[in-house]
Amino acid sequence: MAREFDIPLFYRSEIISTIKKARKESDRYRKDLSPSSLDLGDIEVRIARHFGFCFGVENAIEIAYRALDENPDKRIFLLSEMIHNPHVNEDLISRGIRFLMRTDGTTLIPFSELKPEDIVIVPAFGTTVEMFKDLESRGIQTQTYNTTCPFVEKVWNRSEQLGQKGYTIIIHGRARHEETRATFSHARSSAPSLVIQDMEEARELGRFISGERPSSELLDHFSGRYSPGFDPDKDLQRIGVVNQTTMLATETHEISEYLKGIMASHFGTLEPGDRFADTRDTLCYATSENQQALYSLLESDGDVAIIVGGYNSSNTSHLVELCERQLPTFYVKDEKEIKGLEEIQHLNSHSGEVITTRDWFPKSRRDGGNGPIRVLISAGASCPDALVDRVVSHLAGLLGREDKLLEALEPYRALLTESN
């Protein structure tokens, strides 16, 4: 999707925008996943080829700001966070938008206070069938400013198609995440549905399918994550996997391949489609593209990684997960978390706690080499380029390399001049 969105200028940035424009001009088909490089002398900043606002996020932001422009005299509400980035949500609040719920579904403003003339924006994650009906029963026009990501809606549509063909829907996602709650609601209206979080739970489901574990235990094991009336003996005869679009693309693929094998083996069929629906087309292109770009960034061999994004962002946490396997990684929401070269505040994505780490910045190459220290940087799909820009600029300032930063951008400016 090549559409250009009308995004407020303060979300853009000089450094990152220059790099992205230059890379786009030299690689219009987006095939080159090698990272961009900023040479600061004895420090090299390597930035992932793809990161930041995706199609769905830009679409949602454009609609939200249009709602503000078109309705200056009306009350405007958001069901919950527009996207998982505090800076975006705080700006919308500062402009008068009020949130009806927290991301976990806790009510902030009673729905009984809503009036038919009020504007309610549906966030990029979408919402449940029940919520759409509730709002419409109150006279709210839910489709006027519905920012649900088209790729999330694609998952809903695919689930409905599978349900019509007699498949049970297995959703790979975090059960408490807004998008998964919405997808589960839409899926269960069409077919029996079950949510699994990871490969470990897929293997557990496989044990129930194969009979290794009695089906009578399944409902307890997956308590609260299956549709009403779910019958393991009847509803695991034919299955298809769809996903929360921000999960690890590789893990969704592994889960699909594993469950396809279990179904083929247990039911003794040489035609997996008889028992298993191929649903890899529900993977979000941006999530997959950003993750592939991160793999390429990691292959470039860094000494430390900084991942920028909201602390409740699922897709950002997966980028952190991939980085942590290879090198010291720090998950920050903005440049203010980097207190200095001796101290950084960051999210421990395993405990969910914001912690402080001292002496975080390497004093030399991890491999003992004499080349520049390499800092790898990427960001989540809900992170504005301006935040990444500020992180890069702040880091250059801490390193005393501000004068090198503009010079490091020259190759990209030259590339733009050549293309024009």
**87-to-92, 177, 265, 306 alpha-carbon distances in Å:** 9, 20, 49, 18
Report which DSSP code applies to 3: P
3-state secondary structure of 260: helix
What CA–CA distance (Å, rounded) separates 40 from 48?
17
DSSP string of 97-122? -EESB-TTS-BSS-GGG--TTSEEEB
Q: How many CB atoms are closer than 10 A to CB 278?
A: 11
Q: Which helix (H) or strand (E) holds 36?
A: strand 36-39
Residue with tokens 């001049």: 417
Written as one string, the DSSP assignment of 198-239 is SHHHHHHHHHHHHTSS-GGGHHHHTTTSB-TT--HHHHTSSE
What DSSP string runs through 138-181?
TT--TTTTB---HHHHHHHHHHHHHHHTTPEEEEES-TTSHHHH
Would residue 179 show up in a list of annotated catalytic residues for this protein?
yes
Phi, psi at 183, each rounded to 5°: -65, -40
Gap between the Cα atoms of 28 and 229, Å rounded: 50
Which residue in the list 44, 81, 179, 335 is annotated as catalytic?
Answer: 179
Q: Rounded CA gap, 86 and 91, in Å?
A: 8
Q: Which of 61, 185, 175 is nearest to 123 (CA)?
A: 61
Residue pair 48/377 in contact by the 8 Å Cβ criterion: yes
Active site residues: 179
